[in-house]
Chain A
Amino acid sequence: MAYVAFADNDTHSHDPDTFISKYIWSQDHKVIAIQYGITAISAGIVALVLSLLFRLQLGFPDSFSLVQPNEYYQYVTMHGMIMVVYLLTALFLGGFGNYLIPLMCGARDMVFPYLNMLSFWFYLLSVIVLMASFFVPGGPTGAGWTLYPPQSISPGTPGVGGGIVLMILSLAIFIIAFTMGGLNYVTTVLQARARGMTLMRMPLAIWGIFVATILGLLAFPALLVAAIMMLLDRVIGTSFFMPEMLSMGDATEYGGGSPILFQHLFWFFGHPEVYIVALPAFGMVSDVLSVHARKNIFGYRMMVWAIVAIGALSFVVWAHHMYVSGMNPYFGFFFATTTLIIAVPTALKVYNWILTLWRGDIHLTVPMLFAIGFIFTFIHGGLTGLFLGNVTVDLPLSDTYFVIGHFHMVMGVSPVLVLFAAIYHWFPKITGRMFHTGLGKLHFWLTLLGAYSIYLPMHYLGILGLPRRYFAYGDTDFIPESANLMNAGITIAALLVAAAQCLFFINVIWSLMKGKKSGPNPWRAASLEWQTPDTPPKHGNWGEQLPEVHRWPYDYSVPGATQDFIPQTVPANSGDAPQNEQEVED
């Protein structure tokens, strides 16, 4: 009962009246979501272009001289950091979290709209600071996205001047932005749900975003601690992480610090980060699959349990990123075990997605194609994760292209496919227009097949022993000519996939102007966001009265109902709902 008062609290109304308060300094969660989305995708495009530049070098080492070794490292670093933090985290939580939480929970807005606005502007600032590092003397840092000291702040590494400082500052600002947003997401889910929207009636998308936000709030401080301490090491010469060492033949001022300490902190953040990206993806893909298969999600309760279990376990697996840094065998054994345990709830989710499809009335719409594509790439990336989770298998494969193939499959391609599924799925609600289906399908097939032709060969390269992070391989005994050929093929596939993304942008722009009107609920979906009085939803989302929730969001193809879906707002005893359900089910 209590949270209803807050969901409908109009005392802090912030109705926008001017262009600036409506679209720029906006406190409306939908506008903030779109601001987050545009900024994140723009940053993502920069990272994509960087990847093409270094892929050209890797595929055709003698033909192009677009990048020099220093730039190669800088581009690889920036590509990784932007994609993981500034694109995926920001788009899933800042973008979709902002857009979906109030609409799917039945709130008028986030509970702290002003803080929400600040969150976006801090995020934008962090992106600007990051991008500024391209323009400082020495350029951005080339330390690799993990920023391991001592190398990241020692002379000889590209960007050791301004680049690394700006990177650390930008991360710190990002964490502040995320904390402000995260406080909002968690509090809104806890306190601003509409009447009748119990926790166990929330769509899985909200569950995923909710748990991922909690992970972020608890894990980002680890990165902040690491960032502050490394900044002090770099700027004023403390020795938190820096060991006694020689640099260019001379002894440095540093002494006694522990680089491994940084690795622990980094991965204590870094592994939950994987699930900060994956859990919202899991949630959103569940909703898309259910809607387009016209079937309730299989094992809803198990799905919620799995999200929570994965979230909790993700804090006790971090050291599996550090098998090669030298550790007590029992320590490695512990982390290998927890890593394999986390595969259980994850596999459970995969089975449930497949069982949701089983005997469903599958509509192969564009979002559905992307969602099914995700199941393939995720199984693929997940299975190679089992290889790498075992210490003995990981040691020879560590730092090879097998690892690159694995993590791009599992946390590159898979979340991006879900992002596309989500964008195509909610595009009609966000804009009020349908996208072009043909273009969308072409985009899907090029992206899925292209992504496979990029990352599948990388597994072979990795098993050959091809190390990552090399600018060029030259004449090396164990690398056959065919490996170079494969590298060239990967680069061509990467160029094609990048070109295919133009289809997406063309589709978005064309649909915004010329797309046919979608109406409020083109997918005939049951969850709350499709029941708004206006499409796109106006400020305040729900018009005069907040919705009331009478059922869970997955009432599809209910036997005896007049339509094949029953919206969450339809009362139990209306004509649409089957009678006597309680008795049947119990």
Chain B
Amino acid sequence: MNISLLFVALGVALMVWCLLISQLQTKPWVSKGLVQEQGAVSLPAPRVGLWVFLAVITSLFGLFAVVYNMRAEFPDWRPLPDPNLLWFNTALLILGSIALQRARSVSEKPNLDGLKWSLTTGGLLTIGFLFGQLIAWRQLTGSGYAFTTNPADAFFYLLTGIHGLHLLGGLWFWARANLKVWGNVAMYSIEEVAHLRLSVQLCSVYWHYLLLIWLILFGLLLST
């Protein structure tokens, strides 16, 4: 618990440091004119928005992890056997992330050929991951580990479920980008292409982040 809290605190401190320290030295009552701050960066707003959102879900999953660890210390905790299928699912999600990374690098080229296939593959692998998780749930319920049997089981369903919901949300944006990619890309205006590039880029960032969260969650589930 303390380690996760420390981690969160360090992250926040780092953010505050980068954001503020250089700015807070200035004397606004002295400086006049059209000054700009040093180190102002050029980022599209959706990208900043995504990073802020990632901070929010970090807080959400971080707190879940803290609570998980605290609850696991109670004597009634009965660890459940983690289904082997989870390893396969993890591989699917890693491949999905790789496919989206490829989509991202393809999308940065002037010619968008090949984008369709890597983007679609990334999404389908993720859908495969989600189905795999559902099957893992069924395996567990089938062998007597229902939601209410033990807090360890409840946490398993809860954490995988919340993670899955976040992936579903990502798939919504993936689907919208994918529809555009399968449209007549050659006819798109420069703005539309730029928008498409940004969508693919943001999808890949979100996927990598959710992969990271899954790896941490998986480690957590395995460790108890």
Contact = CB atoms under 8 A, between A and B. Distances in A.
Interface of A: 1-3, 6, 11, 111-112, 179, 182-184, 186-187, 190-192, 195-196, 198-201, 217-219, 221-222, 224-225, 228-229, 232, 236-240, 253, 255-258, 261, 264-265, 268, 296, 300-301, 304-305, 308, 312, 315, 548-552, 554-555, 571-572, 577, 581-582, 585-586
B76 A256 contact: yes
Interface residues of B, number: 51
Contact of B148 (A3, A237, A572): A237
Given A225-B60, A255-B76, A112 B29 contact: no
A454 to B, nearest CB: 36
B216 interface: no
A264 B41 CA distance: 38
13 contacts: A186-B48, A187-B49, A191-B43, A221-B59, A225-B60, A225-B67, A229-B67, A238-B151, A239-B154, A240-B151, A258-B70, A577-B32, A582-B32
B49 A179 contact: no
Given A1-B36, A308-B20, A187 B71 contact: no
Given A183-B53, A196-B33, A582-B30, 12 more contacts: A182-B52, A187-B48, A187-B52, A196-B35, A218-B12, A218-B56, A225-B63, A268-B63, A301-B27, A301-B28, A305-B24, A312-B12
Interface in B24-50: 24, 26-30, 32-37, 40-46, 48-49
Contacts of A582: 30, 32
Main secondary structure of the interface of A (DSSP, over half): helix
A201 B28 contact: yes
Contacts of B53: 179, 183
Contacts of A112: 45-46, 49
B215 interface: no
Closest 9 CB pairs of A and B: A2-B42, A256-B76, A572-B32, A552-B28, A221-B60, A111-B45, A238-B154, A196-B34, A221-B59
B70 A554 contact: no
Contacts of A184: 49
A129 B28 CA distance: 46
B126 to A, nearest CB: 22
Given A238-B148, A550-B32, A582-B30, A6 B45 contact: yes
Most chain B beta-carbon neighbours within 10 Å: one of A111, A218, A265: A218
Given A191-B43, A192-B45, A571 B63 contact: no
A187 B28 contact: no
Interface in B118-137: none
A224 B60 contact: yes
B49 A554 contact: no
Interface in B96-148: 147-148
B158 interface: yes
Nearest to B32: A572
B69 to A, nearest CB: 11
Contact of B28 (A186, A198, A232): A198
A571 B9 CA distance: 41
B68 to A, nearest CB: 10
B49 A111 contact: yes
Given A196-B35, A256-B151, A261 B70 contact: yes
A308 B12 CA distance: 11
B75 interface: yes
Contacts of A224: 60
A186 B48 CA distance: 9
A109 B34 CA distance: 22
Interface of B: 9, 12-13, 16, 19-20, 23-24, 26-30, 32-37, 40-46, 48-49, 52-53, 55-57, 59-60, 63-64, 67, 70-71, 74-77, 147-148, 151, 154, 158, 162, 191
B169 to A, nearest CB: 11
A218 B59 contact: yes
Given A183-B49, A232-B158, A225 B34 contact: no
Contacts of A225: 60, 63-64, 67
B27 A585 contact: yes
A550 B35 CA distance: 8
Contacts of B158: 228-229, 232
A198 B26 contact: yes
A195 B33 CA distance: 10
Contact of A550 (B9, B34, B147): B34
A572 B31 CA distance: 9
Given A192-B45, A200-B28, A218-B55, A550 B67 contact: no
A68 B74 CA distance: 40
A74 to B, nearest CB: 29
Contacts of A581: 30, 32
Given A191-B48, A225-B67, A229-B67, A296 B60 contact: no
A571 B70 CA distance: 58
Contact of A301 (B24, B40, B57): B24
B75 A585 contact: no
B29 A585 contact: yes
A264 B69 CA distance: 13
A554 B27 CA distance: 12
A386 to B, nearest CB: 25
B38 to A, nearest CB: 10
Contacts of A253: 148
Nearest to B56: A217
Contacts of A265: 63, 67
B41 to A, nearest CB: 7
A187 B52 CA distance: 8
B3 to A, nearest CB: 16
